């Protein structure tokens, strides 16, 4: 099926998903004009909404990229949340102990975040490659371990010394991601776009990406021709971990300005869903990340103005994924009517 028809089918699935979601929302008591208002008009007309959407879309894009590059090597990174947590922990480490000269600290934080995220991937990667332990479960279990470690830090050694709340002390100005000079857009958006470009280059133009395609398409054949499949998968998985760590940094340094208890919640699933919907294409990741961000910002106002619990948005996101996934069926198979 041609690429154009494929895109049409996906859009069709998306459309149906949005329709079902709209119906569900109407069921819960929101009228149609209100829906249109919340989801379309206010989002695009208020500059504060646009900023909120972009600020959210940046980390969503990065986790989407993380999931995508994992999938491109058939490595299911379900541990995105754990890596996001450790990324933020790495960044906070630099911030809390004021490591390095002030002008470089933010770069140090970003690098440490990527390093920590990558490090949290090493155990599941090793287990998968050496012992054939399924990475889906191992990365997932480590999410829970990371979460508990985070709580340990926040209720313990890193508890805010002034407020005694379970979050870290607030970052200094040099340790935050601020807005791009002159504009109202956070630097994290720029970071996200930079990595979209990098990933596009890596997957479409580089030699690594060319070889990775074979690892994905037929790993037996790849091995036979001499591709070092284990090395390729490892590199992809580690990049995935690093990206998730980076996302953690953009959330804590860009949105919260500190390390909090629940900053990471939802990014794991969303990353995977975005990666899946985008079929691992970095450019499409941006589009679906924006879509999810819009849903979430709209969801927040639904919560405030209409008392609809935020879980509704989760439901809508799931419905959309189901409809798009189901529509893929029509791309893969042709229905023949048997007379």
Binding site residues, other proteins, CB under 8 A: 28, 76, 78, 127, 131-134, 136-138, 140-142, 144-145, 148-149, 151-152, 155-156, 205-207, 210-211, 213-214, 217-218, 220-228, 269, 272-273, 276, 309, 311-319, 321-322, 325-326, 328-329, 332-334, 338
Compare residues 149 and 178 and give the one whose CB is closer to other proteins.
149
Q: How far is the CB of 270 from other proteins (least distance, A)?
A: 9
DSSP state of 168: P
Q: Which CB, 272 or 297, lies closer to other proteins?
A: 272
The C-alpha torsion from 131 through 136 and 293 to 15, rounded to 10°, is 130
What tokens does 36 get? 């249109």
- Beta carbon of residue 249, minimum distance to other proteins (angstroms, whole number): 23
**CB closer to other proteins out of 113 and 316:** 316
Nearer Cβ to other proteins, position 242 or 312?
A: 312
Question: CA 180 to CA 187: how far, in whole Å?
Answer: 5
Nearest approach, Cβ of 178 to other proteins (angstroms)? 33
Q: DSSP state, 262? A: S
Contacts of 72 (CB under 8 A, 6+ apart): 203, 212, 216, 236, 280
Given a contact cutoff of 8 angstroms between Cβ atoms, the answer to whether 79 and 124 are in contact is: yes
Contact 191, 249 (CB under 8 A): no
The DSSP secondary-structure symbol of 173 reads G
Q: Which CB, 47 or 224, lies closer to other proteins?
A: 224
Please report how close the Cβ of residue 229 comes to other proteins at its closest, in angstroms. Answer: 10
- Residue 137 CA, chain-centre distance (Å), reads 19
Burial 139-153 (b: 16+ CB within 10 A, else e): bbebbeebbeebeeb
Q: Which residues pair with 314 in a beta bridge?
A: none
CB of 223 to other proteins, least distance (A): 6
Distance CA 251, CA 219 (A): 36
Minimum separation from the CB atom of position 82 to other proteins (A): 10
**Nearer Cβ to other proteins (131/181):** 131
What is the closest distance, in whole angstroms, from the C-beta atom of residue 72 to other proteins in the complex? 13
The least distance separating other proteins from the CB of residue 245, rounded to whole angstroms, comes to 20
* DSSP conformation class of 183: S
How far apart CA 294 and CA 40 sit, in angstroms, is 9
Place of tokens 């999410």: 143
Rounded to whole angstroms, how far apart are CA atoms 89 and 81? 12
- Considering the complex, state which of residue 5 and residue 218 has its C-beta at the smaller distance from other proteins: 218
Measured from the CB atom, the residue of 50 and 318 that comes closer to other proteins is: 318
């Amino acid at each position: 099926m041609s690429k154009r028809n494929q895109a049409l089918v996906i859009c069709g699935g998306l459309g149906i998903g949005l329709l079902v979601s709209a119906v569900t929302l109407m069921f819960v008591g929101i009228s149609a004009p209100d829906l249109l208002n919340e989801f379309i008009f206010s989002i695009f007309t208020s500059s504060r909404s646009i900023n909120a959407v972009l600020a959210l879309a940046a980390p969503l894009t990065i986790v989407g990229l993380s999931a995508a590059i994992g999938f491109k090597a058939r490595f299911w990174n379900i541990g995105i949340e754990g890596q996001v947590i450790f990324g933020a922990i790495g960044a906070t480490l630099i911030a809390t102990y004021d490591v390095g000269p002030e002008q470089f600290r933010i770069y140090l934080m970003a690098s440490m975040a990527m390093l920590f995220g990558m490090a949290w991937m090493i155990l599941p990667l090793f287990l998968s490659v050496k012992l054939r332990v399924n990475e889906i479960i191992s990365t997932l279990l480590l999410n829970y371990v990371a979460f508990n470690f985070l709580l340990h830090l926040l209720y313990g050694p890193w508890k805010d010394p002034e407020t005694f709340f379970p979050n870290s002390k607030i970052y200094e100005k040099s340790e935050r991601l601020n807005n791009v000079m002159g504009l109202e857009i956070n630097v994290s958006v720029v970071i996200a776009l930079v990595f979209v470009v990098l990933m596009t280059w890596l997957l479409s133009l580089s030699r690594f990406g060319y070889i990775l395609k074979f690892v994905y398409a037929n790993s037996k054949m790849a091995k036979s021709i001499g591709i070092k499949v284990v090395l390729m998968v490892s590199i992809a998985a580690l990049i995935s971990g690093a990206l998730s760590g980076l996302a953690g940094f953009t959330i804590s340094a860009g949105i919260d300005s500190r390390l909090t208890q629940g900053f990471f919640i939802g990014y794991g699933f969303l990353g995977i869903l975005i990666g899946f919907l985008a079929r691992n294409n970095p450019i499409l990741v941006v589009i679906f990340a924006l879509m999810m961000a819009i849903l979430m910002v709209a969801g927040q106002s639904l919560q405030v103005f209409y008392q609809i619990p935020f879980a509704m948005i989760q439901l809508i996101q799931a419905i959309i994924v189901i409809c798009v996934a189901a529509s893929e069926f029509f791309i893969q198979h042709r229905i023949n009517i048997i007379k």
